[in-house]
């Protein structure tokens, strides 16, 4: 009989790509709830409180600053969460990509689509 390990060394466990997507989907959901949601509520409050605040927000968002990069990253993480959620729904309801190979390729496609669409959005906003 083989003894079970007393502790798990997470650096030695190699998870499949679909497992990493699933874990990061959950982590992005927590980030959205605790960071992105309050941030976007603050931005909406600032943009609707007065014309001067709206114009200042437009100026802050049109220039590359720490504030605009933080908002872009938060929106990008929200977009990642949406894409991985759609991937999970397709796997659950349509039973597409349930095999190990299909899950691997769909997770790679999701990451590539997320990165490329985020960079296109980032380029569109700041050009």
Q: Is the pLDDT of residue 5 over 70?
A: no
Top-confidence residue, 68 or 34? 34
DSSP 94: I
Q: What is the dihedral of CA 65, 71, 73, 74, to 10 degrees?
A: 160
Average pLDDT of the chain to the nearest whole number:
90
Domain edges within the chain: 18-43+52-126
Q: Is the pLDDT of residue 127 over 80?
A: no
Identify whether the C-beta of residue 80 lies closer than 8 Å to the C-beta of residue 28: yes
Mean pLDDT of 53-78: 91
- pTM, rounded to two decimals: 0.85
Distance, in Å, from the CA atom of 19 to the CA atom of 10, rounded to the nearest integer, reads 13
- What pLDDT score was predicted for residue 85? 96
pLDDT band at 9 (very low <50, low <70, confident <90, very high): confident
Lookup: tokens for 122: 């980032």
pLDDT band at 74 (very low <50, low <70, confident <90, very high): very high
18-43+52-126 under CATH 3.40.718.10, yes or no: no
Q: Which residue has the tokens 């296109």?
A: 120
């Amino acid at each position: 009989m083989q003894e079970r390990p007393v502790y798990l060394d997470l650096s030695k466990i190699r998870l499949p790509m679909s497992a990493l997507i699933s874990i990061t989907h959950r982590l992005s959901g927590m980030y959205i709830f605790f960071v992105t949601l309050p941030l976007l509520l603050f931005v909406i409050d600032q943009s609707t409180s007065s014309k001067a605040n709206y114009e200042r927000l437009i100026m802050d968002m049109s220039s590359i600053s720490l504030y605009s990069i933080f908002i872009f990253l938060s929106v990008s993480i929200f977009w990642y969460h949406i894409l991985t959620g759609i991937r999970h729904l397709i796997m659950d309801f349509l039973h597409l990509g349930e095999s190990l190979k299909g899950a691997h390729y769909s997770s790679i496609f999701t990451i590539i689509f997320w990165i490329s669409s985020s960079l296109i959005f980032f380029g569109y906003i700041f050009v």
